Amino acid sequence: MSAAITVDGIGKRFKRYRHRPTSLKERVIRFRVASDQFWALRNVSVEIPEGQTLGLLGPNGSGKTTLLKIIAGILRPTEGTVTTNGRIAALLALGAGFHAELTGRENVYLNAAILGLSRSEIDRRFDDIVGFAELEDFIDSQVKFYSSGMYVRLGFAVAVHVDPAILLVDEVLAVGDIAFQRKCLDKVEAFQREGRTIVFVTHAPDLVHRVCDQAVMLEHGEVKAIGKPTDVVQEFRLSMSRKDLAYGWDRGTKEIEIVSAEIFGQEGETREWFAPGEEMTIQLDLKANTPVAGPVVVSFAIHDQSNMFSYGTNTDWRDVFFPERFEGKYRVQFVLKSVPFVEGRYYITLGVHSRDSTKVYHVQEQAYSFVMVRGEENPGLVYIPVECRAERL
Ligand SMILES: Nc1ncnc2c1ncn2[C@@H]1O[C@H](COP(=O)(O)OP(=O)(O)OP(=O)(O)O)[C@@H](O)[C@H]1O
Ligand SMILES: [Mg+2]
């Protein structure tokens, strides 16, 4: 099997500005802005065999997008080499490659032409692209009137219809609604069956487990882990539990935002560890950045270290309902009367979405974690608060 992509000793150095002028006056007075250089990527090597799928994990600012851009040939590396085989289609940033003043139709032609398709080839695929993006009614509007979800749909539709040998997808997919994400995933799986090579950035480890042959985790621009998805995801989780790293498992329209979240023990104290059977409160503070037409549902889910979904519930199921028009701020508390887990670290995902989940306002995927310590009894799979009685008959 030959390599579709060979990344060999890649390094990328950027200038970082210590002061960003905010006004024209400042810009003029401080015409020389202090800057230093730093490596956004260093010593990155990875080989992706033809037909394989690579998952790219890592915290915010670790260099994922920079690496994709270098593979795509949009950025030139400071050192090292990249070799690729076959046409590359890349979906890198929201609306990248789109011209705001042009219509959706014009942008499709422009983009597909840049990716190497002839006019007649584009003609033939045009309806499929628009159909996939579900933008029939908007294709002749200027894209500056598109929502972020519409941008992503059109961008992805073009990328997967130009017959690429290599598909590069940054996290932008998370912007689309859930139905469209599912459709993209189906397309990714179809591409895998067709033997195309895929590299994608994600913050969802279960996706890496499910679809990737290989995974790489970047941290501060260096390869922290590389190899089997299971091993890399485990390393990722370990790092994630360290507080000094910000993980951007963050998606949604932010019309309603999770401003903060905390985990409390029974006395209202902030806690990171619990013993089986203790009470735990998961508290979220929400803010509507714009009034939202409901019904709005707030949910949480708990996954264990091997990413098994362990438990989840939501406000609807707990009989807590918000007004039809959601506005202002809310504090939501889920009180787990008796935590049933045994030893290990557990991860909490928080979500605010519409009742049918087609609209995702804000999801923080596995952004919080807690540790279960061993209780007095022998742990099995779960802890059950058992009341024991005996009476003489
Ligand atoms: N053109 C640029 N000029 C200067 N610095 C840059 C440039 N592009 C990226 N950087 C910096 O390089 C580092 C890596 O950025 P990159 O966008 O690759 O990270 P990322 O892993 O994609 O992060 P995220 O998860 O937030 O998307 C960051 O510190 C970023 O600020
Ligand atoms: Mg990025």
Domains of the chain, with CATH numbers? 3-240 (3.40.50.300), 250-372 (2.70.50.60)
Q: Specify the pLDDT at position 114.
A: 83
Q: Is the pLDDT of residue 46 over 80?
A: yes
**Mutation to probe ligand 1, out of 15, 65, 169 (largest number of atoms < 8 A from CB):** 65
User: For residue 41, how far is its CA from the centre of ligand 1 (angstroms)?
Assistant: 9
pLDDT reading at 99 higher than 60: yes
Task: Please tell me the total number of residues recorded for the chain in this structure.
Answer: 393
pLDDT above 90: percentage of residues in the chain: 51
Q: For 59, how many CA atoms within 13 A lie in the half-sphere containing its CB?
A: 19
Query: How do residues 224-237 score in pLDDT, each as one tens digit?
Result: 999 999 899 888 87
| pLDDT at 272 (0 to 100) | 81
Average pLDDT, the chain: 86
Structure confidence at residue 95 as a pLDDT band (50, 70, 90): low
Q: What is the predicted pLDDT for the residue at 271? A: 84
Pick from 95-104, 134-143, 319-328: least confident = 95-104
For residue 63, give the ligand 1 atom closest to its CA: 18
Pocket test for ligand 1, best of 62, 68, 168, 216 (most atoms within 8 A of CB): 62
For residue 55, pLDDT over 80 is answered with: yes
Helices (H) and strands (E) in the chain, counts: 8, 20
Q: What percent of the chain has pLDDT over 70?
A: 87
| DSSP codes, 301-366 | EEEETT--EEEEEETTTTT----SEE-SEEEEEEEESS----SEEEEEEEEEEETTSSSEEEEEEE
Poorest-pLDDT segment among 91-105, 185-199, 314-328 = 91-105
- The pTM of the full predicted model, rounded to 2 decimals, is 0.65
| Residues in contact with ligand 1 (CB, 6 Å cut-off) | 14, 40, 58, 60-66, 248
Going by alpha carbons, the residue nearest to atom 28 of ligand 1 is 61
Task: Note the pLDDT of residue 245.
Answer: 40
382, β-bridge pairs: none
| Minimal-distance CA residue to ligand 1 atom 31 | 61
